[in-house]
Amino acid sequence: MKKTIFKIAKTELYNLFYSPIAWLLLIVFSFQTALAYLGSMQQRLVYKNLGGAFLNYLHGLTGSVFGGGRGFYASVAGNLYLYIPLLTMGLMSREISSGTIKLLYSSPLKIREIVFGKFLAMLLYNALLVGIVALFAGVSIFNIQSADIGFLPAGLLGIFLLISAYAAIGLFMSCLTGYQVVAAICTLAMLSLLSYIGTIWQEYDFFRDLTYFLSISGRSMNMIDGLITTKDVLYFVVIIGAFLGFSIYKLQDERTKKPIGLRAGRYAGIVVSVMLISYISSRPGLIGYWDTTAIRSNTLSPNAQKIIRQMDAPLEVTTYVNLLDRNIWMALPVQRNANLAIWEPYLRFKPDIKFTYVYYYDTANIELLKSYKGMDLRAIAEKTAKSAKVDINNFKTPEEIRKIINLRPEKNRLVMQLQYKGKTTFLRVFDDMERWPSETEVSAAFQRLLDTKLPMIAFADGDGERSIDKSGDKHYKILPNEISFRYSLVNQGFGVEKVSLKDQEIPSDIRALVIADPRNPLDSVELGKIQRYITAGGNLLIAGEPGRQALLAPLLQPLGVSLKEGMLVQPNAEGNFPGLILSGLTNATDNLFSYDPLKKSRKDSTPVSMPGAAALTYAGDHGWEITPLVITKPAASWIRKRMLTEDQGIMGGMNSGGTSGSSVNGNIGATATIMVVAAGSNLTSTGTSLTATGSNGNATGSGHNGRPPLYSDSLIFSPADGDEGGSFPTALALSRSVNGKPQRIVVTGDADFMSNTELGRRNLRVSNFAFTIGLFKWFSHGEFPIDTSLPDGKDNGLNLTDTSMNVMTIILKWGLPAGLLIFATVLLIRRKRQ
């Protein structure tokens, strides 16, 4: 039987290569593949030549060139459907139209030998196509520095399996008709159906899984990205086997007539077998995984795996979907399989996760409700349901959902509730480009379920400190508890609470106390509580401001730290507030915080923005090990002790982001005792008060008397006027051991660096996010945020030059197709002469 199959395959290959079509497709395929590859490499060469920040685009070069939906492998796979119908259309159609099929029927050959032989010929031709792709992959081993060699063969396997499935489908279609063009069109139609079928009837639970199992769309993407799974491999094997079986039964039915019921039953049996095998092979716990990438980029990080392995009981994930939430499109029934795909990396290590969806409607999207004036909530929900093509009767009413769970603290947004051993926590979606929680947020939620108590961060309240509940420019709502913000503390694993130093004792079990720019002097009772907390070994973050030197002195002096008089200024040509200090991270932050995003920021020299900052000074004789975290640039900034005039930027728009409409006090953060000299007025702002004399005393709004802010780069360093130059720390880390446990304190000369505005700054590239989160990671001794980073890959450089790129273009783009053309021409001419 094997010899017969090989003989048939050999004969079919002769037919292929002694006809122009096979060679033409090879030539076109090689040229099209070269275009895709060279275009990608040319773009990377541009990044290399530009240098600087563009070199970041060369990180993980193997994956960025070959992987992803827009990579080289995906580009090749996306074009395969154009070639296969032209190759397979004559496999059996030619035999049928020429009448030789009758000879085959009357010969001692078995039908399956004919089918397997012709399919084997196609596999060999497919291997030739994949070989051309492999040539480009091989070239990349030399083009990319330390290329991820393990990544490359996985994608080649995915392409080979995909093209082989196409060939099996084309072979079956060729068995249906004697017209080759019809066979080609039918093949294209079937490929389109299998690609599209995964998107139909997704709103119905029964059909959703059924059509998903049949869909061929995206089945090779895991392999293209370097992840081989038994689920994907078995899918292709099953599809190939199914269409080969269809081909065998079709030809057998032509040779020997059988009852329609028997024939239909055999085809149905194949379909049922395909569905059964696909269903079983895709069950969590029965899927095998092989991550072929060097850094295991398709696998959960070691820390995430460690957390999951501690969960020894089933996990329930209930997704609450509000019809009137702006995120409704992410969790409609038609998106169910896409949602579950997000959980696949976790199901790999914990297959006993159960998913439930609860649909309801309630007040959420205020903008949406305002646009439907005069309509009640039910009417709006019905209108939205009709637009989304869902049945409103499948959604619980506000009264029904409120009896089940109170989602108003979650603003009735799309949210997932995780339940494990009776404990629950929320896992949220966010208002950013990524939307869904990443591995870091999911791991933090898992850890919250395992921990008996959340690591708490307490914010001092009651003396005019920055508020964690207000969304104003200078306040702190975004950082601690904004549920829609990915990097807020509550989404990174922390708990947040307020502590009134006047009325409450400082909890002893918190991870850190934050005292952010108090405007009122701390009394002896409050100072006593803080001192006892420090003596007991509590962690502390003290954020000061210019003008708060005397107010914070009783708190800072025992630590050996003080705020220098005056305010740092940093004139610039961009028109930014001259008090906006762009300080650099020190090398000490790498080892002290051990937070990868912060390391990257320090390596890229990304500054920390501090609008209205005071320099810090310290003495090392108070029992603390003191380490500067952020320092100013000596050539760009200095301490100015004189008053700033209006055209020097103190008037209007002086908040951290330049937002107009705030008062002077709000604009300069917490700056106190600053005099603004303007035409016809003398304004003095002390603390929270503003006193005006003269004819023009309005210092509130977008500028003096409504004028736009005037920022000037005319500030000049003047030692004669008390200006002090040098490099000054604006953030210090203090550490010591108390009763055998490490104690950590951070003091900053600015409180705006983690304000709502600075964390939302868009006009400058700053590292405030990374720095702020790094601080709290240090306070929690590295427990949160969960470190889900992977080691850096080594394929971060390009060996190509402009000259070698030109040579490679000539060889691959022109030389390879030309070589194939010459070889094909010689072969076909010699064949014709014979």
Burial class (CB in 10 A: 0-12, 13-18, 19+), 702: middle
Confidence of residue 666 (pLDDT cuts 50, 70, 90): very low
User: Measuring CA to CA, which residue among 731, 774, 790, 792 is closest to residue 492?
Assistant: 774
100 or 821, which is more confident: 821
pLDDT digits (tens, 9 = 90+) for 185-196: 999 999 988 888
pLDDT of residue 834: 67
SS (HEC) of 234-300 = HHHHHHHHHHHHHHHHHHHHHHCCCCHHHHHHHHHHHHHHHHHHHHHHCCCCCCCEEECCCCCCCCC
Q: Does the structure show a pLDDT above 70 at 457?
A: yes
pLDDT digits (tens, 9 = 90+) for 778-834: 999 988 889 898 888 899 999 999 999 999 999 999 999 999 999 989 988 887 776
Handedness of CA 471, 477, 482, 487 (dihedral sign): positive
pLDDT digits (tens, 9 = 90+) for 713-750: 467 888 888 889 889 999 999 999 998 999 999 999 99
Burial class (CB in 10 A: 0-12, 13-18, 19+), 479: buried
Q: Which of 384-388, 437-441, 525-529, 653-657 has the lowest mean pLDDT?
A: 653-657
Q: Does the structure show a pLDDT above 60 at 373?
A: yes
Residue 476 forms beta bridges with which residues?
none
| Integer Cα distance of 22 and 824 in angstroms | 9
Any idea what the Cα angle at residue 574 is, between residues 572 and 579, rounded to 5°? 45
Percent of residues, the chain, with pLDDT higher than 70: 90
Confidence of residue 199 (pLDDT cuts 50, 70, 90): confident
Question: Taking residues 638-662, what's their average pLDDT?
Answer: 52
Q: Does the structure show a pLDDT above 50 at 658?
A: no
Contacts 24+ apart (CB under 8 A), 719-722: 721/641, 721/642, 722/566, 722/641, 722/642
81 within 8 A of 88, measured Cβ to Cβ:
no
pLDDT digits (tens, 9 = 90+) for 10-25: 988 988 888 888 999 9
Q: In what order do the strands lie in the sheet with 689-694?
A: 674-678, 681-686, 689-694
| Integer Cα distance of 595 and 778 in angstroms | 9
Phi (first) and psi of residue 800, to 5 degrees? -70, 150
Percent of residues, the chain, with pLDDT higher than 90: 55
Confidence of residue 476 (pLDDT cuts 50, 70, 90): very high
Mean pLDDT, the chain, integer: 86
Q: Which of 68-72, 164-168, 718-722, 751-755 has the lowest mean pLDDT?
A: 718-722
Full-model pTM: 0.82
Count of beta carbons in the 10 Å neighbourhood of residue 632: 25
pLDDT digits (tens, 9 = 90+) for 108-138: 888 889 999 999 999 999 999 999 999 999 9
Question: Taking residues 152-159, what's their average pLDDT?
Answer: 95
| Identity of the residue numbered 407 | L
SS (HEC) of 123-185 = HHHHHHHHHHHHHHHHHHHHHECCCCCCHHHHHHHHHHHHHHHHHHHHHHHHHHCCCHHHHHH
576 within 8 A of 698, measured Cβ to Cβ:
no
Contacts 24+ apart (CB under 8 A), 479-487: 479/754, 479/756, 479/759, 479/772, 483/410, 483/411, 483/413, 483/428, 484/411, 484/413, 484/428, 484/430, 484/431, 485/430, 485/431, 486/430, 486/432, 486/434, 486/437, 486/438, 486/441, 487/769, 487/773
Question: Taking residues 174-187, what's their average pLDDT?
Answer: 91
SS (HEC) of 562-605 = EECCCEEECCCCCCCCCCEEEEEECCHHHHHHCCHHHHHHHHCC
Backbone Cα Rg of the chain? 34
What token pair was written down for 89? 């259309």
| Integer Cα distance of 693 and 485 in angstroms | 43
Most confidently modeled range among 213-222, 370-379, 412-421: 412-421
What token pair was written down for 545? 């401001």
pLDDT of residue 309: 94
Q: Please report how many Cα atoms fall inside a 13 Å half-sphere around the Cα of residue 258, on the Cβ side.
A: 15
pLDDT of residue 684: 34
327 within 8 A of 365, measured Cβ to Cβ:
no
| Integer Cα distance of 729 and 630 in angstroms | 6
Q: Which of 159-163, 273-277, 502-506 has the lowest mean pLDDT?
A: 273-277
Quick one: which H or E segment has residue 383? helix 377-388
Quick one: which H or E segment has residue 549? helix 549-556
Count of beta carbons in the 10 Å neighbourhood of residue 389: 10
Return the DSSP state at 651: S
Q: Does the structure show a pLDDT above 90 at 27?
A: yes
Q: Does the structure show a pLDDT above 60 at 657?
A: no
Integer CA distances (angstroms), 420 to 309, 335, 359, 425, 452, in order? 13, 25, 22, 9, 12
540 within 8 A of 512, measured Cβ to Cβ:
yes
| Integer Cα distance of 115 and 636 in angstroms | 77
Spell out the residues 6+ positions from residue 785 whose beta carbon is closer than 8 angstroms to its own. 440, 444, 492, 493, 773, 777
Question: Taking residues 194-205, what's their average pLDDT?
Answer: 76
What token pair was written down for 443? 């791991």
pLDDT of residue 598: 87
33 or 335, which is more confident: 33
Cis preceding linkage at 437, omega within 30: no
pLDDT of residue 664: 34
What token pair was written down for 505? 């004792």
| Integer Cα distance of 361 and 401 in angstroms | 8
Confidence of residue 396 (pLDDT cuts 50, 70, 90): very high
Q: What is the DSSP string of 741-789?
A: EEEEEEEES-SGGGSHHHHT--SS---HHHHHHHHHHHHTTT-SS----
Per-residue exposure over 210-227, b if at least 16 CB sit within 10 Å of its own CB, e if not: bbbbbbbeebbbbbbbbb
Strand boundaries in 409-465, DSSP class E: 415-420, 423-428, 456-461
715 within 8 A of 636, measured Cβ to Cβ:
no
pLDDT digits (tens, 9 = 90+) for 299-357: 999 999 999 999 999 999 999 999 999 899 899 888 888 888 899 999 999 999 999 99
Burial class (CB in 10 A: 0-12, 13-18, 19+), 206: exposed
Q: Which of 251-265, 317-331, 450-464, 729-743 has the lowest mean pLDDT?
A: 251-265
Integer CA distances (angstroms), 602 to 591, 605, 608, 780, 795, in order? 12, 5, 10, 21, 21
Question: Taking residues 66-81, what's their average pLDDT?
Answer: 92
| Identity of the residue numbered 666 | G
Return the DSSP state at 815: I
| Integer Cα distance of 478 and 488 in angstroms | 6
pLDDT of residue 104: 79
